[in-house]
Structure 1
């Protein structure tokens, strides 16, 4: 086992032209869509984290990401990784400069950054060198070419929970989403999930984060369900947003889990006890990570660091697990797109996952519900993808 950790503070290098045309990596530097590596020597991996901004939350997150990456490296056998840390401050210009510096330092793959624009900039900065970027972002707009996203996506969650609901008899799906760009992504994910799982898409109602808008959205949702005959309602609302309001107002207006299958696209298990115990929310469906894998990761991280991980730390662990697993093969093209997107995927902090050729990811998720205010897993997360068709 070889592990060398270095930290590099990167200063902004002026305006960087961030092209969204992150086309397939060139073969500059060798390898098919990825630089060749010599696994008999330490392979340089750059991790780009949002430190250096002076913002306490970002600094804490950056530290947790690095700690999780180091944990993954420590747990891998027969692999030599020279892990080097670069600060981006969450800024696209600094992310591009960091990516360029990492490439000069010999990095064969980049892990991070977190924020979408920074990840896009980093990818553009090293695309011509054929270096792939495993970002922590969940924004599918930046995925593709040499940029992969590791963050949880609406598309993955929607397909899992809508698919489960459809198999249980919910064949007409409506959506209630925020009136913003993220809401549009959520609505598109619900529509695609319905179509992929043999259900019809009944339409969408939208809301803004104001009391007046939420009240109007409840009325619009009720009309949509009555007119379309939808039997399920998918919501992007979360505990920090409109979910507590909808949990109260929807049942008060005759729309509850008793007559309409509520489905969540966010972590409804993180809601307040009052929401969990709301009679109208009992029987709702939402997705969870593999709970046993998450618990095991949290324990290992805590034992190594004395504190628990940030909620996003698992993304850094996953990236390094993917890199380390591929390097264990000893193949010179271990970090190519073809290898990164292998159908079997990888074992991560929160269960198995795999990278898609389009730059997005698929994660094995569990389906859960509320029963008497308690979170109950109805369908555990798969432990493997079982091949390319899964």
Structure 2
């Protein structure tokens, strides 16, 4: 799974929009769809970003949206794509065009600053926004975040670890916005469940910036020093068997925690993970825990992650989505492409309701939620998304489910 988009300060900020008049006679209607009771759904993405990776991601999200539209085949749904440029001003302009063209619902945009700029435009004409940002500070007041949010990942994996008897934790956080957000959620999650964080460290993205924090987390200096002292003691006592037993050891002494939480993904996790066993954070004694960023097939080839746990949507439906996408477009979609598929699927499902009931607050926050290719989900009144996540265990042959995702929401939303 790709790292969630991180909010950055846009230069410059978009101005607050003036009131927008909606004229049904000017709503966008293709010639082949004239005469139909159209339901217009805008899709706002940074197709024209200056970054090639963002443009490619936008295309994949659009492809997934088109796939859902084709598979659910509602002839009255009109998907209106709009390019945001990846900026607040570009997103505001795209949203203004979309609502003037009659959008009943806005899907996207992708980045937090874009969502902040779109929200007042949409709110002014009572059009809800289902965005893909992970930053919960931009949710609410008509904005719902259909994304893989760090809080859901953290709470799920901490819950499961503590149910397995683990109460003492360590953590390694990246020095970025995502790391700061996850740290706050992790500390709250462990504290709320009467657990204890024994030690935590943060690291920069460079290999040199990872080594020191891992050594400190492992108390490597102290434990290595204890080994040298023990060897000297055994040598003085003439205990050759004791010395032989310690021949291949680098440290002695157990760590004071049962699990280590590593919210990282991709190439940086592949660089970081091998350092843990190298500095004697033994995966046979300490369980490695991750987030949804670990839901990445390339990480299965990392031996140091064997047996580690991480939260993820139930894999079966997503794997089927990937197979269909690959068959149609000839490429494997990025992990978050399914968000666009589920967003369009939701729009199509709700379009069956009578006009005036389709995209209301009551409909969007239905307590029973919805089912998508990433499992069940529901929007909470403040705009966050609650998901039914599985716990996966990492193996070289492929991740396996060790605790299935729920298939329904049996309790009221947690606020």
TM-score, with structure 1 as normaliser: 0.82
Match of 2:367 among 343, 347, 357: 343
**Does 1:74 pair with 2:107?**
no
Q: Take 1:249 and 1:236, find their aligned partners in 2: how far apart are those partners?
A: 15
What corresponds to 1:239 in structure 2? 266
Secondary structure of 1:267's match? helix
**2:314 corresponds to which residue?**
290
Per-residue CA deviations over 1:110-169 (Å, capped at 9, x if unaligned) read 001112211221113222222211111112222222222222111111111111111111
Q: Aligned ranges for residues 49-60 of structure 1 at < 5 Å?
A: 49-53=45-49, 55-60=51-56
Return closer, same or farther for 1:178/1:84 CA change in 2, 3 Å cut-off. same
RMSD between aligned residues: 3.0
CA distance in 2, matches of 1:370, 1:85: 38
**Equivalent residue, structure 2, for 1:120:** 116
C-alpha distance in structure 2 between counterparts of 1:341 and 1:121, whole Å: 23
Task: Report if the CA contact (8 A) 1:368-1:379 is conserved.
Answer: yes
Match of residue 257 from structure 2: 230
Gapped regions of structure 1 (runs ≥ 5): 1-13, 20-25, 30-39
Q: Larger strand proportion, structure 1 or 2?
A: 1
CA shift digits 1:289-339 (9 cap, x unpaired):
221111111233334444443332211111112222222232523212222
Q: Deviations over 1:250-287 (max 9, x none)?
A: 22222122222210124335365686323xx3321112
| Aligned counterpart in structure 2 of residue 252 of structure 1, from 263, 275, 278 | 278
- Distance in 2 of aligned mates of 1:320 and 1:362: 18
1:355 & 1:337 partners in 2: Cα distance?
Answer: 10
Q: What SS does the corresponding residue of 1:342 show, helix, strand or coil?
A: coil
Helix, strand or coil at the partner of 1:258: coil
Which residue of 322, 332, 341 corresponds with 2:346? 322
Please say which of residues 66-75 and 114-123 is displaced more in the overlay.
Answer: 66-75
Q: Does 1:207 align with 2:207?
A: no
Give the conservation status (yes or no) of the 8 Å contact 1:344–1:387.
no
1:16 maps to which residue?
14
Structure 1 window deviating more from structure 2 (297-306 vs 171-180): it is: 297-306
**1:268 matched residue in structure 2:** 294
Query: Contact (CA 8 Å) 2:168, 2:256: kept in 1 or not?
Result: yes
Q: How many pairs were matched up?
A: 357
Distance 1:200 1:331 in 2: 51
Instruction: Describe the SS at the equivalent of 2:217.
Output: helix
